[in-house]
Amino acid sequence: MASAAVVDAGDAPEPTVRNLLDQDSLKWVFVGGKGGVGKTTCSSILSVLLAGVRQSVLVISTDPAHNLSDAFQQRFTKFPTLVRGFTNLYAMEIDPKVENDDLSNEGMEGFLSELTNAIPGVDEAMSFAEMLKLVQTMDYSVVVFDTAPTGHTLRLLQFPATLEKGLEKMMELKNRFGGLLNQASRLFGLGDELNEDAMLGKLEGMKDVIEQVNRQFKDPDLTTFVCVCIPEFLSLYETERLVQELAKFEIDSHNIIINQVIFDEEAVESKLLKARIKMQQKYIDQFHMLYDDFNISKLPLLSEEVCGVQALQNFSQHFLTPYKSNLKRGTIEELEQRITLLKSALQEAEAELDRVRKGKQSA
């Protein structure tokens, strides 16, 4: 299991993400986990917090679903766009598919198609390499990746090996067909830029970029992976799988964010909520047992979505200070709030009963 530091017994790491803000050397921050656990909200808030302590921050969505635009309530494209309300935070959304205008045109589509069929993931690898090349020229202080669900993230980490296979396949095609491709290009007036040497050069260039970045990814001073999860069995299982894979790829991971936690002191008297709290606590205990050397942050389940810069900034406080309910169970204030909620629920039920009775009478 990858970890930033050995922790003395009884000296548990701080349950916040403050360590990420304090690590000035960080260049790449990946945020990943199972689908539907709140990765985009967490990566958006991390980028907002980092923008407060770093010179320039770029948050990139590599998830085809692209929820960054929803989180910030602003339209983003495949080019970095300044987030409204900030002077140093930029966002972009890329599709993990090869861009025709970037990598080919009609003369090469069939050839690229054969290559991508021969090596699954080579189109994503090429697209990712192009994006990394673009990002490197812009020189951001730190780049936050809002990744797609776990399987896609693990493929992203395998890109250097995938591009290597692509190069081998290109060499194999070159040796097999000799100058046929060049002749065909000239015959149809497509120009020399479409020959296999040009493609080979393009792949070589991408491989160099990805290998250079991959070396940075394996440096814990430069790169870390934040695992986002919820306190349920499948999410715990997926997090364990992710942490093991990250260790295999030698990528540092020492932060876990447990989202959608129901805090006991906030629960209204409800059997369903009590059962849910009990179940959640069981998995939270398991997270602490498995990852006792990780910074584990717990975020509360909210009654509404966190959308827009203001909402993100308001919610970000729980990333830096462990969440505590304003009300303590058994206090006068907590009892008064419960009575108010129960009265409101009773009024709603009585109004519903009146509507049903009137409906029956009119029928």
85 is in an annotated binding site: no
- The secondary structure of residue 14, as a DSSP letter, is P
Distance of CA 336 to the CA centre of its chain: 40
Read out DSSP for 52-119? TTSS-EEEEE--TT--HHHHHTS---SS-EEPTT-SSEEEEE--SS--HHHH--HHHHHHHHHHHHHS
52 is in an annotated binding site: no
- The secondary structure of residue 195, as a DSSP letter, is S
41 is in an annotated binding site: yes
Q: Which of the residues are catalytic?
A: 63
- What does DSSP say about strands 295-300 and 255-261: parallel, antiparallel, or unpaired? parallel
143 is in an annotated binding site: no
34 is in an annotated binding site: yes
Per-residue confidence of the chain (363 residues) as pLDDT tens digits? 444 444 444 567 889 999 999 999 999 899 988 888 888 999 999 999 999 999 999 999 877 676 888 899 999 988 899 999 999 999 998 765 544 444 444 444 555 555 555 555 666 666 676 677 777 777 899 999 888 766 666 666 677 777 777 777 766 766 666 555 555 555 544 455 445 566 667 667 777 777 777 788 889 999 999 999 999 999 999 899 889 988 888 889 999 999 999 887 665 567 888 888 899 999 999 999 999 999 999 999 887 888 999 999 999 999 998 887 666 666 777 677 777 777 877 888 888 888 888 877 766
Considering the domain delimited by 17-327, tell me its CATH architecture.
3-Layer(aba) Sandwich (3.40)
Domain chopping of the chain, boundaries: 17-327, 330-362
CB distance 125 to 159 below 8 Å:
yes
Read out DSSP for 245-287? HHHHTT----EEEEEEEPPGGG--S-HHHHHHHHHHHHHHHHH
Nearest in space to 22 (alpha carbons), one of 306, 228, 229, 295: 295
Read out DSSP for 43-70? HHHHHHHHHTTSS-EEEEE--TT--HHH
35 is in an annotated binding site: yes
330 is in an annotated binding site: no
89-121: string of b/e by CB count within 10 Å (b at 16+)?
bbbbbbebebeeeebbeebbeebbeebbeebeb
Bin 191: left if φ > 0, else alpha if -120 < ψ < 50, else beta: left
314 is in an annotated binding site: no
224 is in an annotated binding site: no
CA 256 – CA 42 distance, rounded (Å): 11
pLDDT value, residue 350: 87
